[in-house]
Chain A
Amino acid sequence: MSEERLHAFEARIAGGELIEAGDWMPDEYRRQCLRLIVTHANSELMGALPEREWIPRAPGLQRKLSVLSKVQDEIGHAQMIYRVAEDLGRPMGVTRELMLDELIAGKAKFHNVFSYPAPTWADVGVIAWLVDGAALETQGALLKTSYAPYARILRRICAEEAIHLKHGEDIVLTLAAGTRAQRDMLQGALTRWWQPLLHFFGPPDEQSPNSERTFRWRIRLMTNEQLRQAFLRKYVPKVKALGLLIPDPELRQDPATGDWLYGDPDWNEFWRIVKGGGAKTEDRLRLRRMTRDEQSWVREAIAGPTSAA
């Protein structure tokens, strides 16, 4: 019986059908989708923090408004994606409370890039241009995921991320056309972010924990390396056009395939970061814990009269 259901499910996927929250799905499909979606939600929430630090320090009112609006978007994305995760996780007892509890306890994953400091204004530009550019590659490839509620909300999110990218591009272009000090600041930020950007897409396919089923079930459609190459093809020429130096002496394009060959970006460092060892991981989780505690009275007040238990 359960074998039959699995075959019927796989036939639906193979026929290009999309899966809705109320449809029957194998537990493993639910688990894999949930892991992907919760990591994305956590990343939106944590991703707002490095830029939030720059709201009071942004140069000028226009830049301040742009950063403020980007931070608001990222928090909004987290809200929408947690909602999708709640519906998917309900049969497994996964609630928003639980997801947030696990995040602030340091037990949940979020993207490596949000564990690094953003020490200069150029970091804000590089994050919004290249980190959001990298995220757009990943999320753009997920628009065709077989889990329909996630695909629907991604359409809205990708449209907003594309605006963030423009905002970052504008900061970077301004600095690149600026004074020597501004160009140096930009180069410094790029040098800091290049390795985390390569890490962003995850380890090479042969070391990736993604199972063959992730792709057979069309939860994901592109591998880590395919996404990284799509990013490099798009952005390496742009970064070079700005006269910036990419901190990888081995970086070169394979004339036959168009792929960019890069030096070993130290995958041990990647694993250290995703396991919670980033320079800012603990700081930012502490901030999350603090806001969650301090604002608990708001959640209680809006949820209405509660039992003392």
Chain B
Amino acid sequence: MAAEMAVYEVFGQERKGDPHRHVGSLLAADSDMALLLAQELFCRRKEYVQIWVVPRDAVRQAPSDGATLGPEPRRTYRGGEGYRQTVEKWKRFGGDDRADRT
């Protein structure tokens, strides 16, 4: 009877500077084997410049009902949409495209 192998999640980076994105999962006995198998399975066509393997047990997931996480949408001061009035306010001073004119 073979010992149970663990699930590893695989993350790949397509180009330097890009974020790593989840690409799939695999079964392996340890992280060395997971890395080797990840390259065999997911890197046959030069898809990634770097990959990570992470034991699934190490990944925690926030409880969610499928809706977006984070504060309720009224807190517009946390995003750019809360400051759209600057365009209007700049008009008193000749518009906000000054940098382009120099």
Contacts and interface: CB of A to CB of B under 8 A. Distances in A.
A309 B1 contact: yes
B24 to A, nearest CB: 6
A299 B2 contact: yes
Contacts, number: 49
A305 B3 contact: yes
A72 B39 CA distance: 13
B34 to A, nearest CB: 11
Contacts of A160: 45
A309 B2 CA distance: 9
A86 B33 CA distance: 19
B3 A83 contact: no
Interface string B1-44: 11111010000000000000001111101000100000011101
A76 B24 contact: no
Contacts of B5: 302-303
Contacts of A156: 23-24, 42
B66 interface: yes
Interface string A275-309: 00000000000000000000010011011111101
Contacts of B24: 80, 83, 152-153, 156
A83 B25 contact: yes
B32 to A, nearest CB: 10
A12 B41 CA distance: 33
A10 interface: no
A226 interface: no
Nearest to A8: B65
Nearest to B3: A303
A69 B7 CA distance: 26
B61 interface: yes
Contacts of A182: none
Contacts of A299: 2
Interface string B55-91: 0000001000010000000000000000000000000
Contacts of A305: 3
Contacts of A152: 24
Contact of A306 (B2, B7, B23, B41): B2
Most A CB within 10 A of own CB, among B4, B7, B41 = B41
Contacts of B29: 302-304
A302 B34 CA distance: 11
A22 interface: yes
Contacts of B61: 22
A97 B61 CA distance: 28
Contacts of B3: 303-306
Interface of B: 1-5, 7, 23-27, 29, 33, 40-42, 44-45, 61, 66
Given A83-B26, A152-B24, 17 more contacts: A76-B40, A76-B41, A79-B26, A83-B7, A83-B24, A83-B25, A83-B27, A87-B7, A96-B27, A156-B23, A156-B42, A300-B2, A302-B5, A302-B29, A303-B4, A303-B5, A309-B1
